[in-house]
Amino acid sequence: MGILDKFSLKGRIALVSGGAGPLFGSSISEALAEAGATLISASRSLERNEAFAEGLRHQGYEAHALQLDITSTESIAQVQARVLERFGRLDVLVNSAVVARGGGFEEQTPDYWDFSAQGNMVGLFSMCKAFVPGMVAQGRGSIINISSIYGVVANDPSLYEGTGMKQPPDYTFVKAGMINFTRYLANYYGKSGVRANCLCPGGYYNDQPEPFLANYTKRCPIGRMLDNEDIKGAAVFLASDASAYITGATLMVDGGWTAL
């Protein structure tokens, strides 16, 4: 097998939670489908998922859509049942779905943190709980958790000057915990053939206010925000046999942000 062949996901079944999302989810879903995987996009809006999957199929890729509420263990169980019924297994699990309402430290409340924990912590745990046993049984699987630069370093308040924007504190809490949970999975299931790694993207361009864009690009060594194409290669790498000896890793896709 040549080195480029190891990046192929042909014959693999891949599920991306939040897979039709406008930010990381859709980019990762596209990448896995382009690399040959049978792609299952699962998120709250079935209509959006169906339209997204149809667009991929129109390009010649194999893509399917499921509805998933990451805050509901019942919804997660239904997705698991449908995946196993239709495809018989899962080879790649990408946990990209996120629950977010925004607001800074002054605005957020304990009730909001309960809500955030149910989706971002319990949801992540429940997705892994649903699919890891099957991966162990088949002796192969790749879990990719989508963390953030703010799971590794503190947020920089100066970025938000003149914008009215604030970094939600629950986001940094959840993304940091995700990294160590990934290490737990990697250590516990590595000998069973299941790998777990984290992708930590930098800031994603999403029509932010001009002062924020200026502050961000000035600080970032590469001099711009992340776009759709930047995360694709990293996702395929961690999903494929090209990274067969990599587990428990935190891969920064941040334009050098955390190198400063």
Angstrom distance (rounded) from CA 94 to CA 224: 25
Distance CA 214, CA 224 (A): 9
Of 194, 170, 169, 171, which is closest to residue 184 (Cα–Cα)? 194
Q: Report d(CA 230, CA 223) in Å as an integer.
A: 14
Left, alpha or beta for 73 (phi > 0: left; psi -120 to 50: alpha)?
A: alpha
Q: Known catalytic residues? A: 171
241: confidence class by pLDDT, cuts 50, 70, 90: very high
- Tally of CB atoms within 10 A around 205: 15
Is the Cα dihedral 227, 233, 236, 238 positive or negative?
negative
Q: Buried b vs exposed e over 102-118: b needs ≥16 C-beta within 10 Å?
A: eeeeeebeeebeeebbb
What pLDDT does 52 receive? 96
Query: Are 254 and 230 in contact, with CB atoms under 8 Å apart?
Result: no
Per residue in 187-222, pLDDT (tens digit) is 999 999 999 999 999 999 988 999 999 999 999 999
Q: Looking at residue 99, what is its pLDDT? A: 85
pLDDT in tens, 83-121: 999 999 999 999 999 887 788 898 999 998 998 988 899
| Confidence (pLDDT) at 98 | 87
pLDDT of residue 22: 80
The CATH label, of 1.10.340.70, 3.40.50.720, 2.60.40.10, 3.60.21.10, for the domain at 4-250 is 3.40.50.720
Alpha-carbon distance 63 to 93, whole Å?
15
Strand partners, 196: 143
Torsion 123-176-207-64 (CA) sign: negative
The answer to which of 99-103, 120-124, 129-133 has the lowest mean pLDDT is 99-103
Domain residue spans of the chain: 4-250
Among 99, 103, 145, 151, smallest CA distance to 257 is for 151
Judge contact between 120 and 98, C-beta under 8 A: yes
Per-residue confidence band for 260, with pLDDT thresholds at 50, 70 and 90: confident
pLDDT tens track for 9-68:
999 999 999 999 888 899 999 999 999 999 999 999 999 999 999 999 999 999 999 999
Tokens (6 digits) for 108: 């957020």
In the block, tokens 């395929």 appear at: 236
User: Which residues, at least 6 apart from 51, have a Cβ–Cβ distance to it below 8 Å?
Assistant: 20
